[in-house]
Structures are given as structure tokens and as C-alpha cells.
Structure 1
Amino acid sequence: MSRPGSAGADDSRCPRCQAPVLRQLVGNVAALNITADLTPLTPAEQAAVREPNRLIWCLRQASPFTPRRLTWTGRDHPAGCPHPHVTEHRCPPADPTTLF
């Protein structure tokens, strides 16, 4: 659940791997339900993890008192954007030695 005043954002942890994530509906018309990692990526890391169904998101925050907002880093996104960039969360592969 979102905290009051969070404008649809929810900072939490992944229930499976406990990684810190941000859950948010992104978009005005056809919103996407996104769960994003909170670890900022370098441009090289962004290129390595980008896939057709795994997008890179710009994590914006106007001030420390406003909620963080995800925006898509499409072709119109500025090259020198100062905001951190994150990707959709994927749990790391399970370690077969610790299944039980």
C-alpha cells in the first residue's frame, strides 16, 4: 500500500529477495505498473541490462519532501540528465544449495 501523499509510489522491499524497490504506476493514459530497483546505474550498466521488456527509468525527486517519480528514458530523454537511472527489478537467480 502507498503511504498517504505518496502519489502512487511505494518504497518497500521485494517480498522474494528483500531488495529495496519502488513500486509505482507510470504514465497518464496507459499506465504501467513498475517495480524498480533503487540502485542507480551507470550508462554502461544501463546498456548491459536494457532489453525490449526491461526498460530504464529516470528517478526524479523535486525536493526531499516530495515523492520520487519514475519517468521513462525514451528517445526524447536528455543525454546529460542529472537524475539517477534505474531499471525494473528482477530477483537474482535462486541459489540451488539453499532452497530449503
Structure 2
Amino acid sequence: MSRPGSAGAADSRCPRCRAPVLRQWVGQIAAVHVVADLRPLTPSEQAAVREPNRLIWCLRQASPYTPARLAWTGRSHPAGCPHPHVTEHRCTTEPTTLF
């Protein structure tokens, strides 16, 4: 888990559904806070879940000793990219009430 303001990513769980997620700021100038599922998607799954406000991210890891980094899969992203691709997390469970 990374500390706030560091360049790494924070592996954690969704507070609502407890699914494993990756939380990370992506971008250099106008960063976007991303909470991504850790399950890699096939190309057909990527096409099925992609929406204007639900992007697909490339999950890159230089070595087993460095944190995973998310990169946007825009027009310049190579078609044969060998890295796993993930999407933004979306809970499928209802929130629990305390009362």
C-alpha cells in the first residue's frame, strides 16, 4: 500500500462490496483518480463494459518489485499490448444500512 502523495498505487478493497481494487492517481498534469478492478479483461469483455464514463486501463508493472501503474488505453495505445487491461470498478451490491 502506498502513502498519500507517492508515485505508487494502493491495493485495497472496495468498502461496499469488498472486491479487490487498485486506487491510483493517473496523469501528470490533470490527474484522474481511478479505482480499478484487478481482474484482467479479455478484448470482448473490454468492448462490452466500455462506456464514455467507464474507461479501460492498461495495468503495467516493470518488475515484481515495483508497484503496478495504470495507463490510459487511448488512440496511441498499441493494439497488441501484452499487459493486462482492467476497467473502473463498479459495485454490484447494494450498500448496507447501519440502522
> Take 1:8 and 1:19, find their aligned partners in 2: how far apart are those partners?
20
1:55 aligns with 2:55: yes
Displacement after TM superposition at 1:15 (Å): 0.5
> Take 2:50 and 2:21, find their aligned partners in 1: how far apart are those partners?
18
Mark the runs of 5 or more structure 1 residues left unpaired by the alignment. none
Q: TM-score if structure 2 supplies the norm length?
A: 0.89
> Take 2:3 and 2:26, find their aligned partners in 1: how far apart are those partners?
17
% identical aligned pairs: 78
Displacement after TM superposition at 1:36 (Å): 0.2
Q: CA RMSD in A?
A: 2.1
1:66 aligns with 2:82: no
Q: Spell out the pairing of 1:32-47 with structure 2 (5 A cutoff).
A: 32-47=32-47
1:90 aligns with 2:90: yes
The match for 1:31 is: 31
* Matched residue type, 2:57: W
Mark the runs of 5 or more structure 2 residues left unpaired by the alignment. none
Displacement after TM superposition at 1:94 (Å): 2.7
Displacement after TM superposition at 1:99 (Å): 7.0
Aligned length: 97
Displacement after TM superposition at 1:43 (Å): 0.2
Q: SS of 2:70's equivalent?
A: strand
> Take 1:99 and 1:33, find their aligned partners in 2: how far apart are those partners?
26
Contact kept, 8 Å, 2:40 with 2:85, in 1: the verdict is yes
